Structure 1
Amino acid sequence: MGEAATTGTVHSADGTSIAYERSGTGPPVILVDAAGGFRGMGPMRSLAAHLAEEFTVLTYDRRGRGQSTDTLPYAPQREVEDLRALIADAAGDSASLYGFSSGAVLALLAAAGGLPVTRLAVLEAPFEQDEQPPDEPDLAADITRLVAAGRRGDAVLHFQRSIGVPAEVIAGMRDGPGWSATEAVAHTLVYDLTLLTALPAEALTTLTIPTLVLDSEQSDARLRGWAQGVAETLPAGRHRTLPGEWHGVSDEVLAPVLADHFAGRAD
């Protein structure tokens, strides 16, 4: 599938080093991870292998994760600047973006902020247009307190339960081989919670980039409702529900849909 992956780093505006992996040839596409995800943990590396047959695909470690460094204090705009550096120094003059969950919110924020994004695809962005969940500030404070106390695993579990991850999914993650890696990035869960409040609804009304908004048929009504709302608000938004599991779609189903969108075949 495509050419062998190469790795590199770019430097963001505040000096943070952002590690990335590039594979394939063709128009550039950057994949933006969800909460807790990075190149060594999560779905993006596998998805990139499928898309690399037709595109130059970049996966990267969001700041504070994997091999990327971090600079405090955190601000959502710094993650937008990370994407700006990736586009300019690793992708070329422009790129398409695919974001999953909180990574979808980051992709929308980056596109709305004027980055040279040609096409956009998002899977189940947790975006409430009318109100912000009242427990978010407390959840962020709880996670900060647990991490400071050295209870990173408890911080991850508290986050997952609070956002509605099914108990059987949580059990599978905790028993899996990647649990220690998940604990290592527990502090960045606060970053994702901060990110969710950074995108005003009115910003979507002026975002004219062709955007594919996806959800899974097995996700709950709240996740699917968010996707529908985002698609209806975007002037160039198109909504599609795919076969999948709770808050997830397999590479075999997702990759061809993304490829058609990024190549303009589904317009």
Structure 2
Amino acid sequence: MTDYATTSQGDRVAYDLRGTGPALVFVTGAGPDRADDPVTAETARLAADAGLTTVTFDRLGRGESPAEGRLGLDRELAAVAAMIEVAGGSAVLVGHSSGCSVSLRAAEAGLPVTGLALWEAPLGDPAATTQAWADEIERLLDAGDTENAMRHYMKDMPPEWLAGMEASPAWPALASVVAAYRADAQSLAWAQRALEDGTLDVTVPVLAMYGTETFPEMPVAAASIVAQAPKGTEKEMPGAMHSWEPGPMAAELAEFARASAG
């Protein structure tokens, strides 16, 4: 059953809490909410069955966490902080895609993060390129041009993903969700700059993962994160098309969360 928490910035966040034990908070990337993300939900359920506390939540502006105005990284970090509190006061963050950069920023900002389990962080372009991409998304959002903002956000993704969205009669509504991606763009630009400058300051254990069938840049990104994380490890896991397999992932997260907690 859905529960709700209010962040320090006044946003209302919908979440599901399961299990007891060392905690995991799942931070999704751009796109999914709990209702259309069965892989994360199943992983959280299996991890809870294995003796962990798990929290899945709808990020701001998505699903049952509606939010108005400028949905920047500061508000997203406040939502993550609220979910860590729900989980018991400290947690491993499980980042997926751009949720990896949000999670990295949360750890560097001093939130009570015990570890980072990161799945396929989409990093690797020059920092200036990533910053220009993020700036254009923000410009289009500020102009109210959500359709072109969504096109720009997805410009480096497989073209069939965007084509499928544009072919849907619900395209305008689908595009409007890009207003919630401002924090993703900001966090990716920040993370890419930190990696390029060698200034990433994350001291908690980091597990950077990628699927057995994935895009070529994903293992490279994992290696670049681990190179700057004193307690970093990279690992190939069962998975394809930017997603993991719930059973092996839940087992890996259970082991990592217990090690990070103690």
Give the counterpart letter for 2:153 in structure 1: F
Contact 2:2 2:16 in 1 (8 A): yes
State the distance in 2 between where 1:115 and 1:179 align: 36
Specify which of 11, 15, 27 is matched with residue 20 of structure 1: 15
Asked if structure 1 preserves the Cα contact closer than 8 Å seen for 2:29 and 2:97, the reply is yes
Corresponding position of 1:159 = 153
Q: For residues 148-170 of structure 1, what are the alpha-carbon distances to aligned partners after superposition, in whole Å with 9 as ceiling and x for unaligned?
A: 35x64x6545533x12x224555
Q: Which residue of 1 aligns with 2:96?
A: 100
Change (3 A) 1:76 1:212: same
Q: Residues of 2 paired with 1:129 and 1:212: CA distance?
A: 21
1:226/1:187 Cα in 2 relative to 1: closer, same or farther (>3 Å)?
same
Instruction: Name the count of aligned residue pairs.
Output: 254
Compute the displacement of 1:179 (Å).
7.5
1:7 aligns with 2:2: yes
The aligned residue for residue 136 of structure 1 is 133
Match of 2:254 in 1: 259
**Residues 118 and 208, structure 2, Cα contact 8 Å, conserved in 1:** yes
Distance in 2, Cα, partners of 1:181 & 1:214: 32
- Structure-2 residue corresponding to 1:192: 184
Which of 100, 107, 112 lines up with 1:111 in the alignment?
107
Contact 1:41/1:181, CA 8 A, preserved across alignment: no
Aligned partners of 1:213 and 1:227 also within 8 Å? yes
What is the CA-CA distance between 1:74 and the residue it aligns to? 3.1
Q: Structure 1: which 4+ aligned runs deviate by more than 6 Å? A: 172-176, 178-181
Match of 1:121 among 117, 133, 138: 117
Letter in 2 for 1:64: G
Deviations 1:156-187 (A, max 9, x none): 45533x12x224555667789x9887445232
Measured in 1, the distance between the counterparts of 2:45 and 2:174 equals: 22
Shift in Å at residue 71 of structure 1? 4.7
**What residue in structure 2 maps to residue 86 of structure 1?**
83
- Report the Cα distance in structure 2 between the residues aligned to 1:257 and 1:173, rounded to whole angstroms: 33
Structure 2: stretches of 5+ with no match in the other structure: none
Q: Which runs of 5+ in 1 are unaligned?
A: 1-5
**Which of the numbers 38, 46, 50 marks the counterpart of 2:46?**
50
Task: Tell me if the contact between 2:101 and 2:184 (Cα under 8 Å) persists in the aligned partners.
Answer: no
Q: Which moved more, 1:106-115 or 1:183-192?
A: 183-192
TM-score (norm 2): 0.83
**1:68 positional shift:** 1.2
Paired residue type of 2:11: T
* 1:223-238 equivalence runs, <5 A: 223-238=218-233
2:66 maps to 1:72: no
Cα displacement string for residues 176-222 of structure 1 (whole angstroms, at most 9, x for unaligned residues) = 9x988744523223332122123433453x32211111012322222
Distance 2:117 2:59 in 1: 18
Conserved in 1, the CA contact under 8 Å of 2:71 and 2:183? Answer: yes
Equivalent position SS for 1:264: helix
CA distances 1:211-254 after superposition (whole Å, capped 9, x unpaired): 11101232222222111110111110000112321322221332
Normalising by structure 1, we get a TM-score of 0.82
Distance 1:168 1:73 in 2: 29
Secondary structure of the equivalent of 2:33?
coil
Q: 1:133 aligns to what SS in structure 2?
A: helix
Partner of 1:3: none
Higher-helix-fraction structure: 2
> 1:39-84 CA distances to partner (integer Å, 9 max, x unpaired)?
1123322221221212111001111111113253333122112111
Q: Partner of 2:2: helix, strand, or coil? A: strand
**RMSD, aligned α-carbons:** 3.0
Higher RCO (Cα < 8 Å, 6 or more apart)? 2
